[in-house]
Amino acid sequence: MKRSGQKTTANKIQVVLDRIFGFILATVILIGIAGLGIEYVLVKGPSTALRNTFLATMIETRRFDWLANIYLTDEEYVELIEDIYRVDESATDSSLINAEVEVSVNEQGQNVDAYGIVDEDGDGIVLQDVTGEGFTGYMLIVYDPMRIRLGIPDIFGGTGLTVEQYCEKYNALAAVNASGFDDPNGTAWGGVPVGVIICDGIVYNASGGWNEYCGFDSNGIMHIDAFEGTELQETDIVNAAFFGPKLIVNGNPRDPEKLVSGVNPRTAIGQRADGAVLLLVLDGRQVQSLGATYQDCCDVMIDYGAVNAYCMDGGSSTSMYYNGAYINSPSGEGGARPCPSAWIVLPESAG
């Protein structure tokens, strides 16, 4: 039998624990109410730009996309989505790309291209750090566009491959993620691509409503275009993937009002007038790099001389592998996520 003193001590401990848990519960409830209040101001407030940025961030994060329409009707939600992700129907003018990088030797004996980029080892691949307001990342410049191709898994529908695995499969020097994939609950394995995929001239998954692509023709010229029906099968596109949006077309940056997005990790691909391919990854969801917008990607591509540029899948998919190591810091809980395709850099030209 317990003594009365022991009972009193136990009761006091129970009271203290109840108060602590009660305080924690009340705090969580208050934070939740405050969060809903802030979201209401963001969604219903006077700032359209702030509203669209918030909604785009939630949608792109996938696991929190349900937050985007708490205060919106289904009709309002669809209308906003269409406004944020409106398709640009402009097509690529391939005559603007010469596909011949000119390299000279500077006073230090280094190889320098027409854009002032130094290729220290002369292998035609240059990796540079990229920094901006709130983000860090990397730009991989590949002089010969014929070294670029699209890598895919052995089969679609199962588990995709990480960019490291794509390098292993194709004996590639580098890879960045490409296509988006069907991921309704944020738990998919990256094996079901969204939109068209073309690998070595073979067209996959070209049905459905996603009739846009970014790809390369047999001469190494990058195209950003749309198609209808079987038009794509009749073109000279040999490697292509879908995601978007278009960032730059024929030297013209996309209207900033049409590049509304949230702040997240980003992957993009571009091409300079001399044919050099630009592979960009910008980290996000980290203390040292919060993330980037579509406009940030566009600005970086402009700085590097892109004539055409296009966003690939971002978020936790954003990853770059080069020379046997991950270059960036993928934001996925388990590191780099499997994806249904990747842009890979071959050791030598495929042409």
Band (213; pLDDT cuts 50, 70, 90): very high
CB 197 within 8 A of CB 150: yes
Residue 350 falls within a domain, yes or no?
Answer: no
- More confident of the two residues 57 and 135: 135
CA distance 130 to 289: 11
CA distance 118 to 345: 19
Residues 136 and 23 in one domain: no
Residues 31 and 128 in one domain: no
DSSP result, 99-124: ----EEE-TTS-EEETTS-EETTSSS
Residues 117 and 80 in one domain: no
Residues 59 and 204 in one domain: no
**Could you report how far apart the first and last alpha carbons of the chain are, in Å?**
89
| Residue 11 identity | N
Residues forming a β-bridge with 127: 140
Residue 351 falls within a domain, yes or no?
Answer: no
Residues 76 and 98 in one domain: no
Q: What are the distances in angstroms from CA 288 to CA 175, 291, 301? A: 23, 9, 22
Q: What is the pLDDT of residues 120-137, one digit of tens each?
A: 999 999 999 999 999 999
pLDDT at 307: 98
Q: Residue 295 pLDDT more than 90?
A: yes
- Phi then psi dihedrals of residue 325, to 5 deg: -155, 155
Residues forming a β-bridge with 266: 282
pLDDT at 201: 94
Mean pLDDT of 95-124: 92
Mean pLDDT of 106-111: 89
Mean pLDDT of 207-217: 82
In the listed set 63, 84, 105, which residue is the last one of a domain according to the structure?
A: 84
**Burial class for 302, CB neighbours closer than 10 Å (0-12, 13-18, 19+):** middle
Q: Nearest to residue 240, comparing CAs of 152, 317, 139, 163?
A: 152
Mean pLDDT of 83-110: 81
Strands 342-345, 148-151: pairing is antiparallel
3-state secondary structure of 21: helix
Band (87; pLDDT cuts 50, 70, 90): low
Residues forming a β-bridge with 197: 204
Residue 89 falls within a domain, yes or no?
Answer: no
Q: Residue 208 pLDDT more than 90?
A: no
CA distance 246 to 107: 39
Cis before 245 (ω within 30): yes
pLDDT at 56: 62
| Residue 224 identity | I
Residues 116 and 138 in one domain: yes
Band (35; pLDDT cuts 50, 70, 90): very low
- More confident of the two residues 351 and 328: 328
DSSP result, 12-41: HHHHHHHHHHHHHHHHHHHHHHHHHHHHHH
Residues 23 and 52 in one domain: yes
Strands 174-177, 342-345: pairing is antiparallel
User: How many domains is the chain partitioned into structurally?
Assistant: 2
pTM of the model: 0.80
Q: Nearest to residue 238, comparing CAs of 150, 340, 342?
A: 150
Residues 75 and 98 in one domain: no
- For residue 30 the two structure tokens come to 């208050």
Residues forming a β-bridge with 97: none
In the listed set 55, 84, 113, which residue is the last one of a domain according to the structure?
A: 84
Q: Residue 39 pLDDT more than 90?
A: no
Q: What is the largest CA-CA distance in the chain?
A: 94
Residues 60 and 99 in one domain: no
Mean pLDDT of 295-306: 98
Share of the chain above pLDDT 70, in %: 72
pLDDT at 75: 74
Residues forming a β-bridge with 198: 203, 240
CB 330 within 8 A of CB 318: yes
- What is the pLDDT of the chain when averaged over all its residues? 84
Residues 133 and 192 in one domain: yes
- More confident of the two residues 261 and 143: 143
pLDDT at 197: 94
Q: Residue 347 pLDDT more than 80?
A: yes
Q: What is the pLDDT of residues 239-264, one digit of tens each?
A: 999 999 999 999 999 988 888 888 99
Residues 80 and 115 in one domain: no
Q: Residue 8 pLDDT more than 90?
A: no
CA distance 351 to 349: 5
Residues 106 and 61 in one domain: no
Residue 176 falls within a domain, yes or no?
Answer: yes
Least confident segment among 85-99, 103-117, 250-264: 85-99
- More confident of the two residues 45 and 121: 121
CA distance 272 to 97: 7
In the listed set 60, 84, 108, which residue is the last one of a domain according to the structure?
A: 84
Range of the domain at 133: 94-345
